[in-house]
Structure 1
């Protein structure tokens, strides 16, 4: 509504409605009784059209005021099914909203004035209905009255407000909503989503992930979920099926190792030294611990190089065994190497070993295997240039007690990653063709444009979840560096039309502060060159600082996120991350002025004078206050994107899909997740209609299940089907 006045003043009675009613009545009079106005019928018809046109114009103005006042108390319901979410190859749809400008700050300021309370707060009848619900709660005979008062229906004049809390005026200040979209070119600058628990972070993640999966078969989608959200996992699987990508979907879940895919965080590398970096990088490097971490790095590197030279793929279980028993690695490597240089080497070594006893073993080698001592004495006589062998010899020369002490900090970490059935997931047996669980690595996932859901079961075992998450991030950083230098298709044969080019890798990290370490900084700092687009979800800035332990590094992490989505937060410092980046605007306020004065002139007939009026003044205020961010309703956020543009967005409430015809392996994991823990991030369920069943398309069904795992290499189709049937029957 165009306003020619200094103050817009929308929170007021809709006086335009009076004019509109009068104009409509005059129009009817002119058309049906022109004689009452001394008009001939033809002139009355023209006058009627004129009155009606002006009435419609004034009625529209009144409708704007009425709708604005209504939105201040209750926003229109906005809900979509996942298949109704718009998908574009040029932009990411975020929800409905508007660009926040100075006029919206002005309207918000007006809504907070005492005289506007009658239009903003719930009406007296609404408050009466809520009081009656509480009073009649224990009267069973009047239970139907409570049901009527609390019915969530548009026909209910006492309809309760949706349980989203906050201040509706933050979004009601603009009645012309549009679709808010983030250009895909901006996502490579990374996105940070901040919000306290149960305010809609997971719902925003679902909206983004749904589009990432459906947008193109040329994009990779990876979701890290430390706690494990069954509905998010189901949503990703349904969207993968809907997009025809069901065969590319993997679930890695530490809480359900019997049904999870397998992953070796140190099995693929560009340089063998990366294995030691990924493991030792998780150890503390503060103070005296830095020296122990360097020792741990060296010994892990020694055994990793030895295993690599022996043609074996490193894994956590093997590294733990080798670190605990370094003698065994030296003996195995020496058996493979020495005969290549001297055919009779082992005969000489056996002779030396037979002559050894407790008296002639050197003091530094006490406690070592006699064969290790014999190998060392042999190599002192025969010089063999082998870098790996020299590294193993230097490790065994340490006193065994001293050696155990300097690697003591490494053993707890490795034991976390190799205890129980988790060892099956993180140290997979590549030669076991009877195991139907697939083995994946990040380079394979990126090449096949896969979709991966990673649940780390942090609520059951936070230490293991943190260690595995850090390992995965470190591995991903290594893969990103390889892609940046050599491309995605390095090592593959040329395909028709050339290489596939850069692949968009959409990395969604829920509660990422629980997973991040020093390896996360290069991932967001330089990962964009490899196509990685990070969307990180956290609660407060303090969570990041507490995890890293350094305010400067936390600032370095936050500084790499170009897009900021701020839902309701409880920490003022976190809210200032948004508000301190906004400019100040002028807000107008009205002040009533009344003056009176007497006259001292006895000859004048004027005894006193008075005057009154309104004075409008402006004051400079921040575009948003921290209190506005703290008061956001659930499912709403402020977004700072595209070079500092501020948008106000509300996300759609999720309408249930038509059915839950989910394969048994996915369904079992989801049910187990729901029974063991619940994220509580389902605040919308109280205001949503009951679900209707969704039928999975027939082409994706295989009897009563949908195939999830990929066939292990080298197995015939019929044999694989028999093994799958046996596994499913179990």
Structure 2
């Protein structure tokens, strides 16, 4: 509303309504009784039109005041279905909002004054209704009244406010909302989303991921979710189906190994040393642990070089086996390489082996395999000279005293055992030769070339250390792939290379739990390979605590050009935004009243007085940290495009409609089974024909079917999948073990 006065005042009575009623009465009088105001009927119609036009103008001004006052207490509802979220090939939609300017700081300052609280705080009747709800909730006879008071419908004059908390006035200072867009060219500078628990970070991720999946350019979308949020997984799967990209959708979930795709975190590398670095980065490196970490790196690198020379792909399981039994690796490598270099060498080794006994056994090789000791003695012979760096590395490892060797790799073995225990071993150390297992195996370069969509659920609530180690390895693998793309392009080695750079959108929820030393080069140099990181975390202190250095935490934060700040509870985090904003001038009004006595006895004036309003201007920050702390849920400030500040609010989700939308996570799981071919009849994969089911298993099936009359088909599994699958799998595992023992079939 245009103001011609020195100060804009919107929190006041709507005095324009008085003019509206007067104009309306005059218009009625001019139409029905023009003679009463000495007008002819034709002139009366013209005057009535003039009154109505002026009354409409004043009514519009009154409506602005009333709407502004209403928004101070309750903002209009803003909700969208996923298909209603706008998608652009040039911009990223963030929600509804406005560009924050100095006038909005002025309005927020006015809303915080004591004399305007009557328009900002809930009314007396509202507070009375809430007290009645609490007082009457214990009485059964009054529950109908309580439900009426708590009904969230427009007909309820005291309906409760939305459960979003915060101060609605922060967004209500502007009534002209518009769509908030971020140019896609800004995303390559990475985006940091800060917000405390349960204030809308996941909803922000859903809005962004939905657009990334539906974008016409078919961007690569990768979501790292340490918690393994089922709602986010469902949303990504639904959007992939709607976009026709379900064949490019991969799920890696440590909590659902039966539905998860498989991924070898150390199977792809640019240099052999990267494998040892990815594993060693998950080990502690403070104090004395740093030395053990360096030893662990060396031994992992030794066994990895040997396996690579033998033509084997590294995996966590293979590395654990080789570290525990490095003697066997040395013998295997020597059998293939030594005979080719020196014909008949193993015959001489057998001679040394036959001469070994307890008296001439070297003390430093106590506990080693007899053949290993004989091999070392043969290679130490003066007439034997073999130049093989891999063999020399293996020999240097086994020359350590075995007890000492076990001590220096003591920190490495627990990590490898966590990554190879249970069914997680199937996911992280896939058997490439097992044709029976139809779960896909993916790597990042394959996903990027296919323009895939990947959901990574790390199930950190169940096992944080395993989730952290796998997340670090995945980030390290991505850094390696980014370096390859930066040097050679994404289509290096393909016969028909595609044109253009592929946008790789990484959405990292709770990324402070996953980041390690490899995350800094990912955000620092990954933009050249098309990687666009959107990181979600709660506080800046989380990043600092994870890295262990304030300087490195500042280095990480400094690589994010775009900042989206939801409600936070730490002033240091809020100042990350407020300290980047300039100061603005805010006007304040002060009532002035003065009186002065007249000391002249001859004058008729005994005293003089004056009163008025004085307007003063002071400089204040555009936003205070308290404004960030008081944000309602689902609202945020966005600092982007080189310092442009936007106030935005995200849409509430509406239920999806359509026959192709799964109704539950169980339906999602059933769809993934069909996609990954793990079977609508999963029991056939456990006990495949022609193995005959024994009578005990048959009785288990019959008793289970009697207690659960629903069919064991896809719909029956979707109805009660968890209990049904666990109950029958126990019986199946026992049956298969017994059957294999009888038939001698593994």
**TM-score of the pair, normalised by structure 2:** 0.89
| CA distance, structure 1, for counterparts of residue 264 and residue 665 of structure 2 | 22
CA deviation vs aligned residue, 1:578-633 (integer Å, no higher than 9, x gap):
11111111111111111111211111111111111000101111111111110000
Q: In 2, Cα distance between the equivalents of 1:724 and 1:562?
A: 51
Other-structure match for 1:697:
none
CA distance in 1, matches of 2:152, 2:352: 89
8 A Cα contact 2:259 2:672, kept in partner: no
Q: Does 1:628 align with 2:627?
A: yes
- Residues 44-69 of structure 1: CA deviation (Å, up to 9, x unaligned): 22222211111111111100000000
With 583-592 and 408-417 compared, the bigger mean Cα shift is at 408-417
- 1:111 is matched with which residue? 111
Aligned to 1:390: 392
Query: Is the alpha carbon distance of 1:604 and 1:623 closer, same or farther for their aligned partners in structure 2, counting shifts above 3 Å?
Result: same
Describe the SS at the equivalent of 1:134.
helix
Distance 1:397-1:663 versus aligned 2 partners, 3 A rule: farther
Taking the TM superposition and a 5 Å limit, the aligned residue runs for 1:221-620 are 221-381=221-381, 382-495=384-497, 499-620=498-619
The secondary structure found in structure 2 opposite 1:524 is helix
Output one character per residue of 1:183-218: Cα deviation in whole Å (capped at 9) or x when no partner: 100001111111111111111111111111111353
Measure how far apart 1:270 and its partner are.
1.2
> 2:639 maps to which residue?
640
Over residues 313-369 of structure 1, what are the superposed CA-to-partner deviations in whole Å (9 max), with x where a residue is unaligned? 100011011011111111001111112122312222112211111222222222211
1: distance between equivalents of 2:215 and 2:521? 27
Match of 2:44 in 1: 44
Unpaired segments ≥5 residues, structure 2: 689-712, 718-724, 726-746
Q: Residues of 1 paired with 2:263 and 2:201: CA distance? A: 28
Partner of 1:210: 210
Deviation of 1:668 after TM superposition, in Å, equals 6.8
Secondary structure in 2 aligned to 1:574?
helix
Conserved in 2, the CA contact under 8 Å of 1:637 and 1:648?
Answer: yes
* Structure 1 contact 487–501 (Cα < 8 Å) conserved: no
CA contact (8 A) 1:247 1:707 kept: no
For the pair 1:121 / 2:144, whether they are aligned, the reply is no
Deviations 1:421-454 (A, max 9, x none): 1111111111111112111111111111111111
Separation in 2, partners of 1:622, 1:654: 34
Checking the alignment, whether the CA contact within 8 Å between 2:111 and 2:120 is kept in structure 1 is yes
What is the CA deviation profile of residues 17-47 of structure 1, one whole-angstrom value per residue up to 9, with x for unaligned ones? 1112211222232233322221122222222
What are the residue-to-residue correspondences of 1:59-208 with 2, within 5 Å?
A: 59-208=59-208
| Contact 2:584/2:622 (<8 A) preserved | yes
Count the aligned residue pairs.
690
The answer for unaligned runs of 5 or more in structure 1 is 671-703
Deviation of 1:285 after TM superposition, in Å, equals 2.5
What is the CA RMSD across the aligned residues, in angstroms? Answer: 2.3
Q: Is the CA contact 2:213–2:240 (under 8 Å) kept in the aligned structure 1?
A: yes
Contact 2:89 2:217 survives alignment (8 Å) = no
The separation in 1 between residues aligned to 2:548 and 2:612, in whole angstroms, is 59
The verdict on how the C-alpha distance between 1:436 and 1:501 changes in structure 2, with shifts beyond 3 A counting, is same
Distance 1:69 1:633 in 2: 18
Change (3 A) 1:234 1:278: same
Q: 1:287 deviation in Å?
A: 2.8
TM-score (normalised: structure 1): 0.91
Distance across 2 between alignment mates of 1:509 and 1:207: 14
Give the Cα separation in 2 of the matches to 1:663 and 1:123: 43
In 1, the alpha carbon distance for the partners of 2:665 and 2:619 equals 56
